[in-house]
Structure 1
Amino acid sequence: MGICWGSPADNPTPSTSAHLSSVISQTTSNTASRGSNISGYSRFSASSGDEPSPNGHVSPSFNMRIFSFAELKSATKNFRPDMVLGEGGFGKVFKGWLEEKAPGKSGSGTLIAVKKLNSESMQGFEEWQCEVNFLERLSHPHLVKLLGYCWEDKELLLVYEFMQKGSLENHLFGRGCAVQSLEWNIRLKIAIGAAKGLCFLHTANKQVIYRDFKASNILLDGSYNAKISDFGLAKFGPSASKSHVTTRVMGTYGYAAPEYVATGHLSVKSDVYGFGVVLLEILTGLRTLDPNRPSGQQNLVEWVKPYLSERRKLRKVMDQGLDGKYPPKAAFRVAQLALKCLVLEPKNRPSMKEVVETLEQIKSISENPKVPRNHSPRRATRRHKERSH
Structure 2
Amino acid sequence: MALVSALAVVLKVLILSQYFWPESFRINDVAQGLQEQGHQVEVLTGFPNYPFGQFFAGYEARRPARDVLGKVRIHRVPLLARRNGKGLRLLLNYLSFAVSAAMFGPFLVRRPDVILVFEPSPVTVGFPAAVLRRVFQVPVAFWVQDLWPESLVATGSLRNRRALALVSRIVRWIYRHCDLLLVQSRAFSRSLVKHGVSLSKIEYLPNSAEAFYRPVAIPADAPERQLVPQDGIVNLMFAGNLGVSQDLETLVDAAAQLRHEPVRWLILGDGRQRPWLEEEIRRRELQSCIHLLGSYPAETMPRFFALADILLVSLKDDPAFRATIPSKLQSYLACGRPVLAALNGEGARVTLDAGAGLTVAAERPDELARAVLEFIRLSPTQREEMGERGRRYFLRNFERGYLLHQLIELLGSVATRGITKEPKA
Same fold (TM > 0.5):
no
Larger Rg: 1
Whichever structure has more helix as a proportion of its residues is 2
